A and B are shown apart, each in its own frame.
Chain A
Amino acid sequence: AQKITQTQPGMFVQEKEAVTLDCTYDTSDQSYGLFWYKQPSSGEMIFLIYQGSYDEQNATEGRYSLNFQKARKSANLVISASQLGDSAMYFCAKPSTSGSRLTFGEGTQLTVNP
């Protein structure tokens, strides 16, 4: 079974600063991708960003970027210019080999301080 590891149960950042949330994975797949989802305190799961392993440039969506390092098997989420509304739980997820299923990490609780 795939294993997705998020080693930071909780992270704190000051408003307007950048923060990096870590995600490492265990895979023998040659081609794969990584997702990041956000879950605010209201409970919904929000898709943030995706990158495939063969994409040459790191994916960017607004203030979110994905720092993909295949040799280290890591796909860290970088949030620039943090806002109070970024306070939430963040999950990393990896598709199965067939792409039909996702395995999630345990999540990182981010708190943005004013």
Chain B
Amino acid sequence: DAGITQSPRHKVTETGTPVTLRCHQTENHRYMYWYRQDPGHGLRLIHYSYGVKDTDKGEVSDGYSVSRSKTEDFLLTLESATSSQTSVYFCAISAYTSGLEQYFGPGTRLTVT
């Protein structure tokens, strides 16, 4: 199994508060991704990173920011959480050059009340 951890695994927060989710990998893969999963929508890409300090937006990036200061860590921040951001968040990694498949972390269930 790919060495990917996410923290926290579960979080309940109030509308308007900032939230940061962490993804940590031990595989030294170049690419890291944040997705959200909602019923009826499959997985949708929020942001991704193709190297330290190199990030780009996905299809549902509004209200989210990311940072990657080390190869192994990719942080997703909700600056001011809203109820529409209640979701399950998955981190994924990819070596990319040796294969396009992505390997996923266990997910974080975030509830914004």
State which of A47, A91, A104 has its C-beta within 8 Å of the C-beta of B101: A47
Let me know if B50 is at the binding interface, CB within 8 A: yes
Number of B residues contacting the other chain (C-beta, 8 Å)? Answer: 25
Expressed in whole angstroms, the minimum distance between the Cβ of A104 and any Cβ of chain B is 4
With both beta carbons as reference points, the residue of chain A lying nearest to B88 in the complex is identified as: A43
Q: Given the complex, which residues of A lie within 8 Å of B43, measured CB to CB?
A: 45, 91, 93, 104
Q: In the bound complex, do residue A44 and residue B31 qualify as a contact, i.e. CB atoms below 8 Å apart? A: no
How many chain A residues sit at the interface, stated as a range, is 20 to 34
Q: Given the complex, which residues of A lie within 8 Å of B42, measured CB to CB?
A: 91, 104-107
Q: A100-B96, A101-B58, A104-B43 are in contact. Are A47 and B103 (CB under 8 A)?
A: yes
With both beta carbons as reference points, the residue of chain A lying nearest to B107 in the complex is identified as: A43
Residue pairs across A and B with Cβ atoms less than 8 A apart, 8 shown, are A37-B104, A44-B104, A45-B90, A47-B101, A47-B103, A101-B45, A104-B44, A106-B42
Please give the residue numbers on chain B whose beta carbons come within 8 Å of chain A beta carbons, in ascending order: 31, 33, 40-45, 48, 50, 58-59, 88, 90, 92, 94, 96, 99-104, 106-107
- Given contacts A45-B90, A104-B43, 12 further A-B pairs with CB under 8 A are A37-B104, A43-B106, A44-B107, A47-B103, A91-B42, A99-B96, A100-B96, A101-B58, A102-B33, A102-B45, A102-B102, A104-B44
